[in-house]
Amino acid sequence: MTWLDRKQQRREHFQRFVHGWKLRPCMACNGSGRYDHNGSPPCGGCDGTGKERYKPAQAADLAAVKKG
């Protein structure tokens, strides 16, 4: 695998999984990272971070246009 092949793979990965994604408070735990205040386990929706990733509609539309 050449350097250019690897560079193309990194570019595709970034465009697909990183670029345009935003963070917002998790809807399951309301951003606390836990389901309630009584020592419950970490939230399963956000893995205890309190944030969930979402792709805004504009970014999703742009990706569809770029694909073809």
Instruction: Classify residue 66 as exposed, middle or buried by CB count within 10 Å of its CB (0-12, 13-18, 19+).
Output: exposed
Q: Which of 48, 52, 62, 50 is nearest to 19 (CA)?
A: 62
% residues pLDDT > 70 (the chain): 84
Number of domains within the chain = 1
Tens of pLDDT, residues 5-53: 999 999 999 888 888 888 899 998 888 888 887 878 899 889 889 999 8
**57 within domain boundaries:** yes
User: What does the alpha-carbon distance between residue 65 and residue 68 come to, in Å, rounded to a whole number?
Assistant: 6
| Residue 9 falls inside a structural domain | no
* Owning domain of residue 39: 17-67
- pLDDT-derived band at 1, boundaries 50, 70, 90: confident
> Does some domain include residue 11?
no
pTM of the entire structure? 0.53
In a domain, 39, yes or no: yes
